[in-house]
Amino acid sequence: MSTAAAHNHHGEEGHGHDPHLAHHFDSPQQQFDSGKLGIWLFLIQEVLFFSGLFCAYAVYRANHPEIFEFAHRYLDVTLGAVNTAVLICSSLTAAWSVRAAQLGQRKLMIGCIVVTIACAFGFLGIKYVEYAHKFHDGLLWGEKFNPKYAPGGHGEEAGHSPTADAEGHSGQHATAPGATITQEAAGEAKVTTPRNTSIFFSIYFAMTGLHGLHVIAGIIVYVWLLWRALKGEFGPKQYAAIDFAALYWHLVDLVWIYLFPLLYLIR
């Protein structure tokens, strides 16, 4: 397979970092294929890196579904949905930047990279707003979990059906004395918080936090690509770095596409 690829000259210069073919490759095609296989292996490694957290999620959700059904209502579905749209949009522009580079459309390529970076910042901005709410309202991990209101609403506008639901679920835990926290939910009926609800926020912050770090890494990569693109380094014969970065960015997007329903849309 590889030997066939080595002899398969396309006359393309697909390199990663050097303007010239590295000395240990026979052909630009071989160099490009190596880079591509390398980035795919890196992405597999990334999937397994995240898998630990998905596994923790699965274990705790299976053992304590009531925590997840109760606590997810604290999350803002609208902001989450907007962020999903923002990331999908950035994935489109990331893919488009590769095509623009292949076709030699330099301005389009630079525009796509800029939009990708802007979307990434937009995502982090919205995430910041969400995190700020959580910090303000005491919706945190471990012993720091100290919610100021019942789920389903923000402060004054306490939710109605969530309250009822939560009470329904709390029944499962009536056997454990002292295991539930009762709260006064903005003048309405008492809401019981399942025991160890903080676990949900531990997992929420761990997963979205690690994902956020990957978004930041993606921004760094794309700023570097933008700098190189402005120097005119990319073209139909050299677009490997843009291609590989887009693959990475799609993975970051894909992780979020799993995180959004798993954390925000639980029923």
Partner 1 sequence: MSSLDTTMGHSAPSHAEDNYLTHAHGIKSWLLTLDHKRIGVMYLCSTVGALMLGGVFALLLRTKLLTPGPGILDMSHDTYNRMFTLHGAIMVFLFIIPAIPGALGNFVLPIMLGAKDVAFPKLNLASYYLWVFGAVFFVTAMVAGSIDTGWTFYTPYSVTTPANGVIWATMGVFILGFSSIFTGLNFIVTIHKLRAEGMTWFRMPLFLWAIYSTSVIQVLATPVLAITVLLLTVERTLHVGIFDPSLGGDPVLFQHFFWFYSHPAVYIMILPGFGIISEIVGVHSRKHVFGYRFIAFSSLAIALLGFLVWGHHLFTSGQSALASVIFSAITFTIAIPSAIKIFNWLATMYKSSLQLTTPMWYAFGFIVLFVIGGLTGLFLAAMAVDIHLHDTYFVVAHFHYVMVGGTLLALFGGLYHWWPKMFGRMYNEMWGKVGAVLVTIGFNVTFFPQFVMGTRGMPRRYFTYLPEFQAFHIASTLGAYLLGFGIVLAFANLAIGAFRGRKASANPWGGATLEWECSSPPPHDNFAVTPTAHDPYDFAHLSYDEKTDGYVARRS
Triad 221, 40, 96: Cα angle to 5°: 55
Paired residues of 238 in beta bridges? 235
Look up residue 217 and give its amino acid.
Answer: A
Q: Which helix (H) or strand (E) holds 181?
A: strand 181-184
Amino acid identity of residue 140, one-letter, is L
Site for partner 1 in 35-54 (CB under 8 A): 37-38, 41-42, 44-46, 48-53
Distances (CA, A) of 77 to 10, 141, 186: 48, 20, 21
Give whichever of 90 and 192 is closer to partner 1, judged by the CB atom.
192
Phi, psi angle pair for 232, to nearest 5°: 80, 30
Interface residue with partner 1, options 14, 34, 72, 251 (CB under 8 A): 34
- Minimum distance from CB of 227 to partner 1 (Å)? 19
Of 88-96, 167-175, 200-208, 214-222, the segment contacting partner 1 by CB under 8 A is: 200-208
Joined together, the tokens standing for residue 185 give 């939910």
Q: Any contact of residue 125 with partner 1 (CB under 8 A)? A: no
Per CB under 8 A, does 265 bind partner 1? no
Residues 53-72 that bind partner 1 (CB under 8 A): 53, 55-56, 59-60
> Considering beta carbons, is residue 20 or 107 the nearer one to partner 1?
20
> 121, 131, 205, 258: which one contacts partner 1 (CB under 8 A)?
205
Q: How far apart are CA 27 and CA 11, in angstroms?
A: 9
How many residues sit close enough to partner 1 to count as binding (CB under 8 A)? 44
> What DSSP designation does 27 have?
S
* Residue among 99 and 173 whose Cβ is closer to partner 1: 173
Q: Give min distance, CB of 140 to partner 1, in A.
A: 9
Closest-CA residue to 236 (of 135, 29, 98):
98
142 binds partner 1 (CB under 8 A): yes
Angle at 243 between CA 239 and CA 247, to 5 degrees: 170
Binding site for partner 1 (CB under 8 A): 1-3, 5-6, 17, 22-26, 30, 33-34, 37-38, 41-42, 44-46, 48-53, 55-56, 59-60, 141-144, 195-196, 198-199, 202-203, 205-206, 210
